[in-house]
Structure 1
């Protein structure tokens, strides 16, 4: 993993806590949430305030996420919204925290100027040993305050002010006035600087969770469906229409199609589909070559074509299916009939422009693990686990590729691969070049004229 860390592909873009004031604020918040403190005077934190260094020191990498539910957080700066979320047990946690910071940016900026904000992503579940509790995770409420209780004092002061306004002869209530003055010293002038956090409730209906070996839960579709990477038998009693495992390729393909959750790359607007297919094929060649113990240093596209020719007999079916599709797309060859049973099928798809887009791309990444770029972008948890077991040559190649091709323009790469960006000219983008695709679908039994 050291190679990934040095290239910024793991633990990258974290917030550096390196001043005594910030360390002390962090310790106050950490003590408030967990009863623990850190002796470190220099460490890095992610979006939630989790620090790998502090986790090592405490011997507990889940010190802010006990049980994997109701994740706690420590905000030292609004700049943490730019950080990744490490050790995420739910795919929605990062977006919820980022939206919370964005929705309350001015208030949190003022609060973190003098103190840390500590809080928790709260739902009705505190234990998830029973998979049926997953269906209760529909809404997350964020509870947060500074370590000195600024928001609590402000709410109390607001109630006292309302009471003062509504009570006759309140000016003669010395106890009430004294209490208001004391609270104002803690919360500040609420008339000029109201202290209140808004938008603290977020919906969570479609999500991935690391629990039970990895589960994709789709609740907002017509027929709620669970797709499990782990043991389906462990989900017995889960009250959803369908429970599928990753090997049920036909049923997963049907589910994605019925709900309009995917689109073929060849139909995607504004992308170079042939280039995307070639890159996926290159990744498959790299995997086969690394498994055969071949040298992967300083390879260019011509070298990869040579490797593909000389090792055609060991290349998996996914490569050959993509090659047929690429031949049709770029050279006018025969139209390939690719069904969901074909190993190449899920490599030819990307998520459609729906609210579940990120979750679907994450699922597709798990279904197409040889596409290491999509795996890294969409499912880092699985990427890191698989990376640890790859041959050294593949680890070196993938790390170099991601640092060279992805890190330099993350937003551009994501937009080209998965995005549904509007045309800035205000005009509709041109239709796909082959009208037959739009009429009969991408996998019809037709031949290109």
Structure 2
């Protein structure tokens, strides 16, 4: 993993905490939440305040996420909103934390100027002993306050101020006035600078969880289903009609199609589909080269394509399926019939433009794991796990590629791969993409 860390591909964009004042605030919050403290003088934290260094020190990398549910968090600065979430157990957690910070940024900026803000993503489930318990997770509510209870005290002070202003004899109530003065010393003037965090709830319909080997729950669909990364037979009976695993390719393809969740890359407007297909083919060549023991040190795109020509007969079906599609896209060749049984099928798709596109792209990256760029962008947990088992030559090539091609323009790369442009103006013609729209991605799945 050293290559990834050195290139900012792992533990990148964490927030450094080095000043004694911030370390003390972190310790107050840590003790408030967990009863523990750190002796470290500098550390790095993610969006939730989790620190890999503290996890090592405590021998517990779930110190802010016991049982993998109801994640706790520590905010020292609003700059944490740009940091990643390490060790995520639910795909929605980082988005929830970021939205909470952005919606309350002014208030959090003021609060973290004096103290740490500690809180929790609360749902009705405190442990998921069985897969069935995941279906009890319906919404997440954020609870947060400073370690000194500034928000709670401000609410109390606000109520006292209202009482003081509404009661006729309040001017003569020395106890009330003294209590207001005492609280105001901690909270400031809440009438001019109200200290209040917006109460936020988040519905949890469709999400991924790391529990039970990895599960994708799609409940808020016309045709709901659970898709398991591992063997579905060990999940038992679930309160949903369909349960699939990654071996159920035809059923997953139908699930995508029936719910309008995906589109073929060659249909997507505003992207260079041929360039994306070529890059996917390069990654498949790299994977085949690893298995053949070929050294890829310093390999360029020209070198990879030379390998593809030299070993064309030995390359897997994924490569040849994408090559046929590339011939169609670039040269007007014969339309390839790539069914959901074909190993290349899921490499040819991306999420359509809908609210769950990130979740669908995450699942597609698991169905097409040789596309290491999509895997890194959409499913880092799986990327790191697979990376650990690769040969040194593949590790070196992939780390260099991601550093060179992705790190320099993350936003641009994501937009090129997964962004959705508005439809082009209709010039009266019927483009080839409309044929795909009528027959489904490859004609393999019918409504």
Q: Give TM-score, length-normalised by structure 2.
A: 0.96
* Alpha-carbon shift at residue 48 of structure 1 (Å): 0.4
- Tell me what 1:349 maps to: 349
- Tell me what 2:128 maps to: 128
- Tell me what 2:294 maps to: 294
Give matches, 1:307-386, under 5 Å. Answer: 307-386=307-386
Report Cα offsets for 1:185-242 as digits up to 9, x if no partner: 1111011100000142112211000000000001110232100012313322310121
* Alpha-carbon shift at residue 422 of structure 1 (Å): 4.6
* Alpha-carbon shift at residue 314 of structure 1 (Å): 3.0
- Tell me what 2:112 maps to: 112
Report Cα offsets for 1:151-171 as digits up to 9, x if no partner: 010111122222223333122
Give matches, 1:14-33, under 5 Å. Answer: 14-33=14-33
- SS of 1:278 mapped into structure 2: helix
- SS of 2:79 mapped into structure 1: helix
Give matches, 1:170-181, under 5 Å. Answer: 170-181=170-181
Q: Once superposed, what is the RMSD of the aligned Cα atoms?
A: 1.6
Matched, 1:397 2:397: yes
- Tell me what 1:436 maps to: 435
d(CA) in 2 for partners of 1:8, 1:415: 20
* Alpha-carbon shift at residue 328 of structure 1 (Å): 1.1
Matched, 1:206 2:209: no
d(CA) in 2 for partners of 1:439, 1:254: 15
Contact 1:46 1:83 in 2 (8 A): yes
d(CA) in 2 for partners of 1:195, 1:158: 9
Contact 2:120 2:143 in 1 (8 A): yes
How many residue pairs get aligned? The number is 442
d(CA) in 1 for partners of 2:129, 2:314: 42
- Tell me what 1:260 maps to: 260
Contact 2:26 2:74 in 1 (8 A): yes
- SS of 2:299 mapped into structure 1: coil
- Tell me what 1:184 maps to: 184
* Alpha-carbon shift at residue 89 of structure 1 (Å): 0.2
Matched, 1:97 2:97: yes
Matched, 1:167 2:170: no
d(CA) in 2 for partners of 1:199, 1:357: 27
Greater shift in the superposed pair: 291-300 or 64-73: 291-300
d(CA) in 2 for partners of 1:245, 1:236: 13
d(CA) in 1 for partners of 2:92, 2:370: 25
- SS of 1:16 mapped into structure 2: strand
d(CA) in 2 for partners of 1:428, 1:114: 54
d(CA) in 1 for partners of 2:179, 2:234: 56
- Tell me what 1:220 maps to: 220
Q: Give TM-score, length-normalised by structure 1.
A: 0.95
Contact 1:18 1:42 in 2 (8 A): yes
- Tell me what 1:157 maps to: 157
* Alpha-carbon shift at residue 433 of structure 1 (Å): 4.2
Structure 2 gap ranges (5+)? none
d(CA) in 2 for partners of 1:66, 1:36: 14
- Tell me what 1:10 maps to: 10
- Tell me what 1:41 maps to: 41
- Tell me what 1:388 maps to: 388
* Alpha-carbon shift at residue 174 of structure 1 (Å): 1.3
Report Cα offsets for 1:384-425 as digits up to 9, x if no partner: 0000000110000000000000000000000000111458xx
From the superposition, tell whether residues 432 and 8 of structure 1 become closer, same or farther in structure 2 (CA, over 3 Å). farther
d(CA) in 1 for partners of 2:297, 2:430: 37
Contact 1:212 1:234 in 2 (8 A): no
Contact 2:226 2:243 in 1 (8 A): yes
Report Cα offsets for 1:136-161 as digits up to 9, x if no partner: 21211011000111001011112222
Contact 1:44 1:51 in 2 (8 A): yes
* Alpha-carbon shift at residue 432 of structure 1 (Å): 8.2
